[in-house]
A and B are shown apart, each in its own frame.
Chain A
Amino acid sequence: MDELYALKAWKLRELLERREVSAVEVLESVLGRVARVEGEVRSYITLTEEEARSAAVSADAARAKGEEAGAAAGIPMAVKDVLCTRGVRTTCGSRMLEDYVPVYDATVVQRLRLQGLTMVGKANMDEFAMGSSTENSAFFPTRNPWDLGKVPGGSSGGSAAAVAAGEAVWALGSDTGGSIRQPASFCGLVGLKPTYGLVSRYGLVAFASSLDQVGPITRDVRDCATLLSLLAGHDPLDSTSLPGEAPDYLSALEGGVRGLRVGVPRELMQEGLTPGVREAVEGSLRLLEELGAEVSEASLPNLDYALSAYYILAPAEASSNLARFDGVRYGLRVEGAEDMLEMYGRTRACGFGAEVKRRIMLGTYALSAGYYEAYYGQAQKVRTLIVADFEKAFSRFDVLVSPTSPTPAFGLGEKVEDPLSMYLSDVCTIPVNLAGIPAISVPCGLEGGLPVGLQIMGRVLEEAVLLRTARALEEALDFRASPDPVRGEGK
């Protein structure tokens, strides 16, 4: 049998329920793994071993008494450091919040606590979730466990790397333009961006409010369904949260894809795809056909403008969301200023990194008097057109399929000097956030020893269809998400 840290959550839960292993044993296996590989992978900004140990002890105690221990009890988890955790510092990967300790739990964290959350630590990320490689973390970059010379993707790179490297069994990420799906794809994992409003954003430090969603990063589709069921559901503290309780996604997992109408947006299969990515995606499509799905080309012409619209709208919202980091009430304050304005300026100059500043400036400009209509107004119109494109496509197709990212994981430092090429890494994932629809990334092959992800997009609130489709593919592909460093014990 594999080491405990390498098992899927559902498998561990079976073992725990049957009391063949204890939560403490599982945790110690993961913590042992952290001790061996963390020095190279660097998934975590903050480790919370003591908190995790006491959660594991409680889980064991509950199970020993024959009580229901909760679906997350004893399953070591990495939580992206953009989610507020009461009493545990939450940095958002920024100097601005290096020592910031929240006084409250994000709703998703609260929900998981009720299910026995066993949190190993707070995972590294691009500063304020702005980036696609985790190199924009103010503290250190995270490396891809499949190849330590490559990035894990971003912005939830720490979450994905932790799960891929065996430093956690599953993880929480957040996705504004692909930040769950792209790192999941780069690390050979399953990542799901839920329908906007399905999962509460309360306690998720906002990047772009109309695009942000919290979601799971897991080792297989089954774990993804389980974790999504734990996260989803109405939250009265989030006005954009949809009404109603979430269905049990696990029960809808099997059933296959016979008769499923699959569309492949031409606009997402254009230039920029590496041969290996194209091959893996096309192979998956053939496989889906073999499994009984009807695959044909789709066209969503306005997707060509998605990236441009996104890089107006997301920075515009960010420029406002990040205004609160001013040194007045919490977080970093640079002393020695002559007056208030200078204090603001010095604090923000020192507290924010280059990419965050770039986006704040972009967004401020786009909202400025005289430019609003030309930029923000125009981008909103594009967004409306993209929503309409998807609606039209979904009248013909049940799901749409594309690569998650045009390339597999790229090299550390390869794109840091060229923001535009970095932005292009999210060209396939961004339209999904603009439309508010759900999408999942599932491993579909390898290119040069690095995982390739397939993105499956669905109608609003049809996560169950995405999970069922992804499950069918996963079964047919028999993809093994075990990066070399896991086998090689970090060299």
Chain B
Amino acid sequence: MSPYEAVIGLEIHAELKTRSKMFCACDASFGGEPNSRTCPVCLGLPGVLPVLNRRAVELATRLALALHCEIAPYSIFHRKNYFYPDMPKNFQISQYDLPLGVGGYLDLELDGEGFRVGITRVHLEEDTGKTVHVSESGRIHASEYSLEDFNRAGVPLLEIVTEPDIRTPGQARAFMQELKSIMEHLEVSDCRMEEGSLRCDANVSLRPVGSTQLGVKTEVKNMNSFRALQRALAYEIERQEGVLESGGEVSQETRHWDADANVTTPLRSKEYAYDYRYFPEPDLVPLELDRAFVASVEAALPELPAQRRRRLRELYGLPAHDAVVLTSSKAMGDFYEAAVAAGADPKAVSNWMMGELSAYLNARGVEIGEVPVSPSQLAGMIRLVERGTISGKIAKSVFEEMLRSGRDAEDIVAERGLTQISDEGELEAMVEKVVEENPAVVEDFRKGKEKAVSFLVGQVMRKSGGRANPQVVNELLMRRLRGED
């Protein structure tokens, strides 16, 4: 057991799902030809002024409420000043000392243990453009020149800062997963980490177990997946422990997670030692949210993952673990409920999704939305099993084929002749043959070795190409073997 306890706080950025950008009417969606989704405002041309996107405020309020934050009746925007070519104005409009939401929390569970993570603040800011360094390595050093794409510049961002309440990499991951699921359920963000619409940095420090003082922290950046987050934090905790154990001191710095090398490396101090010279943005008026607005956003809040978990457990009698997996994303929950609505047994749907379907998602590294099988197709397959049309074993191979081709289970079963054989006449012939071919086993049975019958059932199943109804075969075999007594 380590003598140290990790103290972790997260800083998350999520792109808001608005149609237009934060301060202009440009298309805010991901992609597009470089610089095709720009205008004088988001290019920071001389003379332009920002106008705040009402929808962005609404979405930010929605998330802040879901995280139990207090909504500030009066908040303002600041300018964060620093030079970087992906920032058209060389300042970013952001919230600073008067953010939109403060003082929230999120209750979570990991391995049956509950924990609470405090939410320090939720605020609005604008995203920057994207720099592409043109060189062999794609990195800035030794690059010949750099190109700027401002399509992302001005897309509204939410920043969520947590209290340092997280103690393990697993908790950090659980928090991020739940936060992502919440944002999906609220429809405030697409939360695509690989597209950068959800990003996360972490502050990590260690302290002796039992201490209430905070140790020196490092900030870890560039964690582009849940897996990266967990591994980077595990590495950083181990690294700091090593430093402390050898009598050294952790130095306060920003570190970059290198997913290929599995290490964090310090950034040169030059790259982050900015004085941002924050001051109130004079081109915007204060954001004053009246109670009626906040109340209307609150009243319109959709069901959140925690509520959905409770409902799934109560309505379908699902175990807690199933409910957690099935609400790990909104799409997962929607898939589940659609399959159940299509008439399949709730527990069977859960089993298939937790088993074969999850295995497929993990193996391919895809999201449920990219699966070629629809919820009603899964329900159709489960109904075939329930009706006895196919066996559970056959069902697995049918489902594999469905995942490959996206075809209906009925079609695959019909085409391949996979229907279960329950007809006694047809099966009796096979039973007879197996009995004849295995006199020694039959002898064993007769001597009282009851278990020998399962071998014979297996032989019949093999002969039928897996299609025989095992229960019927079992009955026939017992009758045949006992009948001879």
Contact = CB atoms under 8 A, between A and B. Distances in A.
B275 A368 contact: yes
B46 A97 contact: yes
A375 to B, nearest CB: 11
A239 interface: yes
Contacts of A324: 44, 46, 88-90
Nearest to B276: A369
Interface stretch (B280-288, B334-342, B467-475): B280-288
A433 interface: no
Contact of A238 (B46, B49, B90, B275): B49
Contacts of B85: 326, 328, 340
B46 A367 contact: no
B478 interface: no
B81 interface: yes
A24 B409 CA distance: 82
A143 B277 CA distance: 39
Contact of B40 (A104, A236, A369): A104
Contact of B47 (A202, A329, A367): A202
A340 B131 CA distance: 13
A328 B275 contact: no
Contacts of A201: 49
Nearest to B140: A340
A316 B278 CA distance: 10
B79 interface: yes
Contact of A367 (B51, B148, B279): B279
A307 interface: no
B277 to A, nearest CB: 4
Contacts of B146: 340
Interface residues of B, number: 29
Interface stretch (A33-41, A203-211, A222-230, A251-259): A203-211
A206 B285 CA distance: 16
A237 B284 CA distance: 11
B90 A323 contact: yes
Given A316-B279, A367-B277, A372-B279, A326 B83 contact: yes
Given A324-B46, A330-B45, A367-B81, A239 B279 contact: no
Interface string B225-256: 00000000000000000000000000000000
Nearest to A209: B282
Nearest to A317: B282
A103 interface: yes
B40 A90 contact: no
Nearest to B281: A209
B179 interface: no
Nearest to A380: B280
Interface residues of A, number: 43
Interface in A78-108: 83-84, 90, 92, 97, 100, 102-104, 106
B80 to A, nearest CB: 10
Nearest to A340: B85
Given A205-B46, A237-B51, A317-B282, A103 B40 contact: yes
Given A324-B89, A328-B85, A329-B88, A210 B45 contact: no
Contacts, number: 96
B48 interface: yes
Contact of A320 (B50, B88, B91, B285): B91
A102 B41 CA distance: 12
Contacts of A208: 282
A323 B46 contact: no
A102 B81 contact: no
Interface in A355-412: 364, 367-369, 372, 376
Contacts of A206: 46-47, 283
Where chain A touches its partner, the secondary structure class is: loop
B47 A84 contact: yes
A361 B335 CA distance: 59
Contact of A368 (B45, B46, B277): B277
Interface in B87-108: 88-91
Nearest to B275: A369
**Most A Cβ at <10 Å: residue of B45, B50, B88, B146:** B45
Contact of A239 (B52, B83, B275): B52
**Most B Cβ at <10 Å: residue of A106, A239, A364:** A239
A351 B79 CA distance: 24
A102 B292 CA distance: 42
Contacts of B283: 206, 209, 239-240
B384 interface: no
Contacts of A317: 279, 282
B182 interface: no
Nearest to B81: A320
A202 B48 contact: yes
B279 A329 contact: no
B43 interface: yes
A144 B278 CA distance: 41
Nearest to A206: B47
A96 B103 CA distance: 46
A97 B46 CA distance: 10
Contacts of A84: 45-47
A265 B377 CA distance: 83
Given A100-B46, A202-B48, A324-B90, A239 B148 contact: no
Contacts of A140: none
**Most B Cβ at <10 Å: residue of A84, A205, A316, A320:** A320
**Most A Cβ at <10 Å: residue of B40, B43, B50, B52:** B40
11 contacts: A84-B45, A84-B47, A237-B49, A240-B285, A317-B279, A319-B277, A320-B279, A323-B89, A323-B91, A329-B44, A367-B278
Interface of A: 83-84, 90, 92, 97, 100, 102-104, 106, 201-206, 208-210, 236-240, 316-317, 319-320, 323-326, 328-330, 340, 344, 364, 367-369, 372, 376
Interface of B: 40, 43-52, 79, 81, 83, 85, 88-91, 146, 148, 275, 277-279, 282-285
The 3 closest A-B pairs by CB, nearest first: A323-B90, A367-B277, A210-B282
